[in-house]
Structure 1
Amino acid sequence: MLRRLIPDPFLLFLIGAVLLATFLPAQGAFAVLVGWLSTATIVLLFFFHGAKLARDQVLAGLTHWRLHIAILASTFVMFPLIGLAASHAAPSLMPQPLWIGVLFLCALPSTVQSSIAFVSMARGNVPAAIASASASQMLGIVATPFLMGLLANTHGGTGGLTGIGKVAAQIFIPFVAGHLLRPVIGGWVDRHRQLVGLTDRSTILIAVYGAFSAAVIEGLWRQLPLSSLAVLFAVDAILLAFGLGATWALGRLFGFSREDRITILFCGTKKSLVQGVPMAKVLFPGPQGGVILLPIMLFHQMQLMAGAFIAKAYAKRSEAD
């Protein structure tokens, strides 16, 4: 499974969507069509996510409350505070939209698929990983817009609290509807996971194309120098390294078992591209949306590469023990 993630083939499709938007941006009536299509796929995406989330998977691991508090605190407290501190410590290093993108990255929930895959490979606590990652995704639907309302406004940006109504209509309501209908359609969704996965990918690609089209028309590549992209790469790398180090230290400080420390390490540092791109489209519908997506797109590939390396090292150590 991890061989299909590293290197991530989907990265090529993301780059293709950005290049297509650069040379053939959606304009006029076609841009309106892309916008409607993006909204429709976002609604369908979160409907499927609600339908495929088994309630017993979440409840099964929630008894390990110390572990889940540590993971959720890493995701929704530690990362936002790091991003906020960095954005205020060196605001001139990058344009404001990139810093807003970094704050948005820090406010995102954990991933589900890759977190569980890495925890499993590293011989961690898989049931707890399933529970924490699933709970993080559910909480993120509300927590991410709320956090962005606080973080972006402190940095002079917009979004977050002003977009909660749109988030409720396009994300939260479809998610709840899908979950309530799971007894009826859950079997069909479980049997057609490839179709659900295709919905994930198509939603991201359409949203990325639409966001970057608007940004390119507004002069994205003329306004964003290569030096800013180089700084963004360094900021993302430092953010990931700090997160990995802090979650590892947190696990040891509070005396968690080896399996639980592995779970904290992976679930506490992953950030969801699948949930981030559609949510950014809702929260930041203007031309700056394409710029705001750059940090999470870059961080996504970094976390996969670092996660694969660390998981393999843990697996070898487990085999040696």
Structure 2
Amino acid sequence: MGMMQQVTRRIDPLMRMLVAAILLASLLPVSEALRPAAQAVSDAAIFLLFLLNGLRLPRGEVLRGLKHRRYIVPVCLFVFAVMGMAGLGAWQAAQAFLPPLVALGFLFLGVLPSTVQSATAYTSLSGGSVAMSVIAAALLNLLAVFVTIPLFTLLAGGQGAGLDFAVLQKVALVLLLPFILGQLLQGRFGAWAQEQRVLVARMDRSAIAIAVYVAFSGAVREGLWERLDLADWAAMGGVVAVLLALGFGGSWALGGALRLERAERISFLFAGAHKSMAMGAPLAAILFDPAQAGMIMLPLLVYHLAQMLVSAPLASRFSQA
């Protein structure tokens, strides 16, 4: 119970905010008239999120992590290539029994990076290498800005969002520009961002919740809850379970094949298996119309909750070994 309480204290605030955002969107979705203003607020929140990421990510950590190529290169390939292909297979299979946009969400899920907070928290609770976990999460999320959208577009073909000029422009203005500004201002405000961890974490979660609320408002207006029945939710859960088994089992097996030290292998497990809502929500908001984004994010939301439920007993077992 003590282990579960520690995990709950460190991770559950985001899940509570996501659930609240979904409930609010279901009961009080953004009207069509207010949609442009709501999208502008969401974009501003995402801009702030990536500005804070730029302030907090020390360049030295990334450079140190790059030196450990036997860890970094395989975890990047597993997260983006292996899980991306798994997402592709899940999308193709799920089209037979799930709405098209929900099925496409499995491909989107597959090409997302690892989490920062939960992967590091579980690594710490498990006695793994926290330093490598932080470095891997930071690098994976930085690479995601350049890798996730092109990879998704490539694998989705004509059925995904295209990499047209408007998308590239929005990526540059809402993701890359604030991150670069954060890196440039790191010497002046980086220490402040590190000292104000609680405030910054709340701002992070708020930005993610706003993006989810706007996306789900669009999906609710398009009849989200009427289009999915219990059989659809069960099918979605089944596909998520398969991806979880591949994510956790595959990353643990690969860490063993690489002969990583136990602490690094534990870090590799959580970095490889977790998927980031913090990156998924902003990217979905940029790539898709809100009505589409809400449907496409459903598999990610289910996976995000399930990965924490799976990770808690694993962390407990590792800590006692």
Structure 1-normalised TM-score? 0.93
Alignment-derived partner of residue 123 in structure 1: 127
CA distance in structure 2 between the partners assigned to 1:127 and 1:223 by the alignment: 44
CA distance in structure 1 between the partners assigned to 2:236 and 2:89 by the alignment: 15
AA aligned opposite 1:227:
A
Alignment-derived partner of residue 3 in structure 2: none
Displacement of 1:220 in angstroms is: 1.8
Matched, 1:157 2:160: yes
Matched, 1:4 2:4: no
CA distance in structure 2 between the partners assigned to 1:65 and 1:107 by the alignment: 21
Alignment-derived partner of residue 192 in structure 1: 196
Conserved? CA contact 2:90–2:106, under 8 Å: no
CA distance in structure 2 between the partners assigned to 1:25 and 1:259 by the alignment: 45
Alignment-derived partner of residue 35 in structure 1: 39
Alignment-derived partner of residue 294 in structure 1: 298
CA distance in structure 2 between the partners assigned to 1:3 and 1:232 by the alignment: 25
Match of 1:67 among 59, 65, 71: 71
Match of 1:220 among 205, 219, 224: 224
Displacement of 1:90 in angstroms is: 4.5
Change (3 A) 1:113 1:13: closer
AA aligned opposite 2:233:
L
Conserved? CA contact 2:114–2:140, under 8 Å: yes
Alignment of structure 1 residues 132-143 onto 2, 5 Å: 132-143=136-147
Segments of structure 1 that go 5 or more residues without pairing to the other structure are none
Change (3 A) 1:92 1:160: farther
Displacement of 1:5 in angstroms is: 4.1
Aligned residues: 315
Per-residue CA distance 1:75-104 (angstroms, 9 max, x = gap): 111101111122224521211111211111
Displacement of 1:195 in angstroms is: 1.9
Conserved? CA contact 1:58–1:130, under 8 Å: no
Q: Which moved more, 1:176-185 or 1:159-168?
A: 159-168
Conserved? CA contact 2:91–2:105, under 8 Å: no
Conserved? CA contact 1:207–1:281, under 8 Å: yes
Matched, 1:95 2:99: yes
Secondary structure of the 1:110 match is coil
AA aligned opposite 1:106:
G
CA distance in structure 1 between the partners assigned to 2:248 and 2:227 by the alignment: 33
Per-residue CA distance 1:35-85 (angstroms, 9 max, x = gap): 111111110110000111111222223221111112111111110111112
Matched, 1:268 2:272: yes
AA aligned opposite 1:169:
L
Secondary structure of the 2:67 match is coil
Change (3 A) 1:202 1:231: same
Secondary structure of the 1:93 match is coil
CA distance in structure 1 between the partners assigned to 2:45 and 2:8 by the alignment: 28
